[in-house]
Amino acid sequence: MWLIDGTPGLFTDFYELTMAQVYFRKGIRETASFEVTVRRLPNHWGFFVMAGLGEIESYLRALRFDDDDIAYLSSTGEFERDFLDYLAGFRPSVQIRALPEGTLFFPNEPILEVTGPIVDAQLLETYLLNILGFSIIEATLATRTMVAAQGVPVLDFGLRR
């Protein structure tokens, strides 16, 4: 399912990397957990549909920082050599629990939980939130369209507009 050539190590934001370096430099290695929830629905939606787990699985398998990633991070002057060496060998070690793909859910329900070393969890946050946000909206819109069509076949030419 992974569609990008190369490694996805830099598919995050600078904040996540700098926070991970703080944990690393201070020797904070505890296990952390974070949950993903959706706070509210758009008006008149009623539900969301869980989606994106295949992409997350592919991302976790591919997540590495290659030589180009490390060189770029080094060029910023913001990262210490020992942290960059750590990133060069980084392989995420987390457990993910999530609602099954296609499950309907509602606001304020935990839909995904990440548990693992705090540095690992920190580095995953941005990508997970982005892929879930996009995937859930797309799956929910498709489901709402099918519900509204009441069994009538639906064609979408949205890309042609």
Side-by-side strand order, sheet with 95-98: 31-36, 112-117, 95-98
Q: Which two tokens stand for residue 138?
A: 């797309």
- 3-state DSSP assignment of residue 160: helix
Longest CA–CA span in the chain (Å) reads: 60
Segment 9-33 shows an average pLDDT of 95
Position 26 confidence tier, pLDDT thresholds 50, 70, 90: very high
Asked, for residue 157, whether it belongs to a domain, the answer is no
Using the predicted structure, report yes or no on whether residue 15 has a pLDDT greater than 70: yes
| CATH number of the domain enclosing 129 | 3.20.140.10
Given a cut of 80, whether residue 51 has pLDDT beyond it is: yes
> What integer pLDDT is reported at residue 159 of this predicted model?
67
**136 with 52: CB under 8 angstroms?**
yes
* pLDDT one-digit tens code per residue, 82-116: 999 999 999 999 999 999 999 999 999 999 999 99
- Contact between residue 140 and residue 48 where contact means Cβ atoms under 8 Å apart: yes
Structurally, the chain folds into a number of domains equal to: 1
Q: Is the pLDDT of residue 156 over 60?
A: yes
> For 119-139, how does the pLDDT look when each residue is reduced to its tens digit (9 = 90+)?
999 999 999 999 999 999 999
Q: Tokens in use for 47?
A: 């539900």
- Distance separating alpha carbons of residues 47 and 106, to the nearest angstrom: 5
94 found inside a domain: yes
Contact between 89 and 110 under an 8 Å Cβ cutoff? The reply is no
* pTM > 0.85: yes or no: yes
> Is residue 156 situated within a structural domain?
no
Amino acid occupying residue 114: V
**5, part of any domain:** no
In a domain, 153, yes or no: no
Question: CB neighbours of 115 closer than 8 A, spacing ≥ 6?
Answer: 31, 32, 33, 94, 95, 97, 121
Is 6 domain-assigned? no
Q: Contact 64/90 with Cβ under 8 angstroms?
A: yes
Residue 9: pLDDT above 80? Answer: yes
List beta partners, residue 115. 33, 95
Q: State the residue range of the domain holding 67.
A: 14-148
